[in-house]
Amino acid sequence: MPNEKDMKEIVALCKRRGFIFAASDIYGGINGFWDYGPLGVELKNNLRDFWWKSMVKNPPIGPDGHPVQIVGVDSSIIQNPKAWVASGHVGGFSDPMVDCRETKKRYRADHIVVLKPKDGGERWIAVMEDDDDFMAARLKKVAKGKTGDDFAHVLLVDLDTSEYAKVLAPDAKEVGTLTEPKEFNLMFESHAGPIQSDDNKVYLRPETAQGIFLNYKNVLDSSRVKMPFGIAQIGKAFRNEVNPRNFIFRSREFEQMEMEWFCHPDEAKTWRDFWFEQRMKFWEAIGLAGSNLIKRDHDDDELSHYAKEGLGTADIEYRFPFTAPGYGELEGVAHRCDFDLNAHQEHSKTKMQYLDTERDNEKYIPHVIEPAAGLTRGVLALICEAYTPDSNRPSGVYLNFDPKMAPKKAAILPLIAKGDHPKVAEKIYMDLREEFEIDLDIKQNIGKRYARQDEIGTPYCFTIDDQTIEDNTVTARERNTMAQERVSIDKLSEYLREKLK
RNA sequence: GCGGGUGUAGUUCAAUGGUAGAACGUCAGCCUUCCAAGCUGAAUAUGCCGGUUCGAUCCCGGUCACCCGCUCCA
């Protein structure tokens, strides 16, 4: 299947050409961490800068026909731990899990209900919470037709672990196979200061959003922003994922691009719809168009703690090779209500109310619409989308990056490594590199060099030949079609500028 | 965290209880007027730790990493 996008080959290409390496490769790697190589960092920066431009520097026109207002921040990765208590991450970002020694299955301890026979029977039957079908089937099988009413219902987490010996696990045949609950804390911990104790325990942020909420008041007091407005941030975030998988898709250290849009509660729906549409346009503008990009609304039972009320969350998902025919999340647009500002107001005793002079001096805590995108997931989507096997060209594959995203915009290639060609090439290179990311490649035959540029997704190659010496034109070779045209040397900047729009 | 699989050069693959090979890629030189051409040469590998053995890349144990399936995934 020559035209299938094979994840193994994509990963190999990423390493071979310097996009993405396993972190600490020479020590055998480390699970859940990846490094960006010379081309990977260019690609990531291009995506990052395009996001910043489309949010902060040149934000879209709002529904009322006027440009919206968004400012940026860059907050610390480590915050006062109270911030994570207030945000709900200390309490809610960890789950107690139990394993079954017999069946090797794992369950959320707080989702298991234990049925204690009212007649004093010694076998306590564990079932999934809120799953009546499962309970009925289970009781039919192991309790001879008794019903739920014949039992006292107790949460597993409320049992003493010494009582686990009586518990029959949900899929087990024998009692007493459940392990003690283990905490799965998804937040990385460290210590601020050289002496480790509980007193100076700190967390590496699991999302960049809280750094925005913590600075909401500072920004409001210093920046002359008015409701509605946004605060944007790009940065690293850390999660102790149980099981990092799928290359850089689920890693323990990753990068987010988040914008918190503050607005009057009555306008939340308008802005939620507006931002979702804008975010779709963003990804489409850099090449993720078509059926590989979809919208998906979250089901009620998967909503975050902050989004249970309100309008919920809608994801923008991309069909990665490893999720196909399904999709994987690229970005979520959530209605966080006033959850975060309320929580911080309560915990920090700092007033988060906004005095809206344009609404008759109404005081309110604004609602938040949050478009939160994965930068590193975006990079992966761009690579997967661009990866194009093509048996008709020497490289066998090329990366069809949108020119705006391509790590190198053009390569300058003297046809022959001798005579005047290299001199002219170097001059063109020096001129163009002031404005664009440019490769200068002199050695080896021209076919090899075209092929190499195809593999790293360089959209244009400018080749210097004898005619160049006579009339100051070069051949411009286009990556996708391999078509060539002659362009005047003094028009090359303009040529690239036009193509990169 | 569980189960299964895989670890040999940058990549894709060979081979072997006793000197680890190839192709492509990379680098250098020659050649070359437009798509990995040709010639010459070079560098680079048995994931890591331990055991058995005279000798282990090969057998065994552990570990790490990756892949698949569960589980999990604010």
Report the pLDDT value the prediction gives residue A95, as an integer from 0 to 100: 65
Is there a contact between A166 and A88 (Cβ–Cβ < 8 Å)?
Answer: no
Is there a contact between A238 and A357 (Cβ–Cβ < 8 Å)?
Answer: no
Protein residue nearest nucleotide B70, by CA to C1': A105
Task: Provide the CA A1 to C1' B23 distance, Å, integer.
Answer: 21
Which nucleotide's C1' is closest to A466 (Cα)?
A: B33
**SS3 letters across A170-219:** CCCCCECCECCCEEEECCCEEECCCCCCHHHEEEECCCCHHHHHHCHHHH
Mean pLDDT value of segment A399-405: 94
Query: What is the C-alpha to C-alpha distance for residues A271 and A160, in angstroms, rounded to an integer?
Result: 48
Q: Is A18 exposed, middle or buried (0-12, 13-18, 19+ CB in 10 A)?
A: middle
Task: Provide the CA A148 to C1' B70 distance, Å, integer.
Answer: 29
Query: What is the C-alpha to C-alpha distance for residues A147 and A136, in angstroms, rounded to an integer?
Result: 7
Q: What are phi and psi of A106, to 5 degrees?
A: -125, 140
Task: Provide the CA A126 to C1' B54 distance, Å, integer.
Answer: 60
Q: What are phi and psi of A37, to 5 degrees?
A: -85, -170
Protein residue nearest nucleotide B26, by CA to C1': A16
Task: Provide the CA A496 to C1' B25 distance, Å, integer.
Answer: 30
Which residue is associated with the tokens 């002659």?
A486
Which nucleotide's C1' is closest to A15 (Cα)?
A: B10
Query: What is the C-alpha to C-alpha distance for residues A196 and A282, in angstroms, rounded to an integer?
Result: 44
Task: Give the pair of three-digit tokens for residue A86.
Answer: 């207030």
Which nucleotide's C1' is closest to A17 (Cα)?
A: B10
A439-498 pLDDT, tens digit each? 999 988 898 899 999 999 999 999 999 999 999 999 999 999 999 999 999 999 999 999
Task: Give the pair of three-digit tokens for residue A115.
Answer: 């049925």
Query: What is the C-alpha to C-alpha distance for residues A90 and A83, in angstroms, rounded to an integer?
Result: 9
Which nucleotide's C1' is closest to A397 (Cα)?
A: B36
Task: Provide the CA A35 to C1' B27 distance, Å, integer.
Answer: 25
As a whole number of Å, the CA-based R_g of chain A is 28
Q: Is the predicted pLDDT of residue A112 greater than 90, yes or no?
A: no
Report the pLDDT value the prediction gives residue A134, as an integer from 0 to 100: 72
Least confident of A307-311, A429-433, A469-473: A307-311
Is there a contact between A116 and A151 (Cβ–Cβ < 8 Å)?
Answer: yes
Task: Provide the CA A27 to C1' B62 distance, Å, integer.
Answer: 17
Task: Provide the CA A21 to C1' B7 distance, Å, integer.
Answer: 17
Q: Is the predicted pLDDT of residue A3 greater than 60, yes or no?
A: no
Query: What is the C-alpha to C-alpha distance for residues A301 and A127, in angstroms, rounded to an integer?
Result: 18
Query: What is the C-alpha to C-alpha distance for residues A226 and A219, in angstroms, rounded to an integer?
Result: 10
Q: Which residues face A236 on adjacent strands?
A: A255
Which nucleotide's C1' is closest to A186 (Cα)?
A: B73
Protein residue nearest nucleotide B67, by CA to C1': A8
Q: Is the predicted pLDDT of residue A304 greater than 90, yes or no?
A: no
Query: What is the C-alpha to C-alpha distance for residues A317 and A279, in angstroms, rounded to an integer?
Result: 11
Task: Provide the CA A467 to C1' B65 distance, Å, integer.
Answer: 53
Report the pLDDT value the prediction gives residue A141, as an integer from 0 to 100: 74
pLDDT band of residue A322 (cuts 50, 70, 90) is: confident
Which nucleotide's C1' is closest to A89 (Cα)?
A: B74
Least confident of A131-135, A155-159, A264-268, A298-302: A298-302
Which nucleotide's C1' is closest to A22 (Cα)?
A: B65
- Helix axis angle for A421-432 and A492-499, nearest 10°, is 50
Is there a contact between A271 and A111 (Cβ–Cβ < 8 Å)?
Answer: no
Which nucleotide's C1' is closest to A7 (Cα)?
A: B67
Protein residue nearest nucleotide B28, by CA to C1': A443
Which nucleotide's C1' is closest to A484 (Cα)?
A: B34
Is there a contact between A176 and A159 (Cβ–Cβ < 8 Å)?
Answer: no
- Vertex A394: Cα angle to A391 and A398 (nearest 5): 70
Q: Is A363 exposed, middle or buried (0-12, 13-18, 19+ CB in 10 A)?
A: exposed
Nearest alpha carbon to residue A455 among A411, A368, A396, A392: A396
Q: What are phi and psi of A238, to 5 degrees?
A: -135, 130
Task: Provide the CA A447 to C1' B35 distance, Å, integer.
Answer: 4
Sequence-distant (≥ 6) Cβ neighbours of residue A65 within 8 angstroms: none
Task: Give the pair of three-digit tokens for residue A486.
Answer: 């002659």
- Is 0.90 topped by the overall pTM? no
- Positive or negative: CA dihedral A77, A81, A87, A92: positive
Strand B bases with any atom < 7 A from protein Cβ: 1-3, 7, 10-12, 25-29, 31-38, 47-48, 64-74
Any idea what DSSP says for residue A54?
I
Query: What is the C-alpha to C-alpha distance for residues A40 and A43, in angstroms, rounded to an integer?
Result: 5
Least confident of A152-166, A248-262, A412-426, A445-459: A152-166
Task: Provide the CA A376 to C1' B73 distance, Å, integer.
Answer: 17
Query: What is the C-alpha to C-alpha distance for residues A396 and A499, in angstroms, rounded to an integer?
Result: 25
- Positive or negative: CA dihedral A82, A86, A87, A88: positive
Query: What is the C-alpha to C-alpha distance for residues A330 and A284, in angstroms, rounded to an integer?
Result: 12
Task: Provide the CA A104 to C1' B71 distance, Å, integer.
Answer: 9
Which nucleotide's C1' is closest to A392 (Cα)?
A: B35
Task: Give the pair of three-digit tokens for residue A8.
Answer: 């193994």
pLDDT band of residue A1 (cuts 50, 70, 90) is: very low
Protein residue nearest nucleotide B73, by CA to C1': A241
Is there a contact between A356 and A42 (Cβ–Cβ < 8 Å)?
Answer: no
Query: What is the C-alpha to C-alpha distance for residues A315 and A280, in angstroms, rounded to an integer?
Result: 10
Report the pLDDT value the prediction gives residue A2, as an integer from 0 to 100: 37
A182-241 pLDDT, tens digit each? 766 788 989 998 888 888 999 999 999 999 999 999 999 999 999 999 999 999 999 988
Report the pLDDT value the prediction gives residue A123, as an integer from 0 to 100: 80
Task: Provide the CA A374 to C1' B74 distance, Å, integer.
Answer: 14
Encoded amino acid at A298, one letter: H
Is there a contact between A104 and A117 (Cβ–Cβ < 8 Å)?
Answer: no
A8-63 pLDDT, tens digit each? 889 889 998 999 998 888 888 888 999 999 999 999 999 999 999 999 999 999 99
Mean pLDDT over each residue of chain A, to the nearest integer: 88
Protein residue nearest nucleotide B2, by CA to C1': A104
Task: Provide the CA A381 to C1' B22 distance, Å, integer.
Answer: 35
Report the pLDDT value the prediction gives residue A412, as an integer from 0 to 100: 95
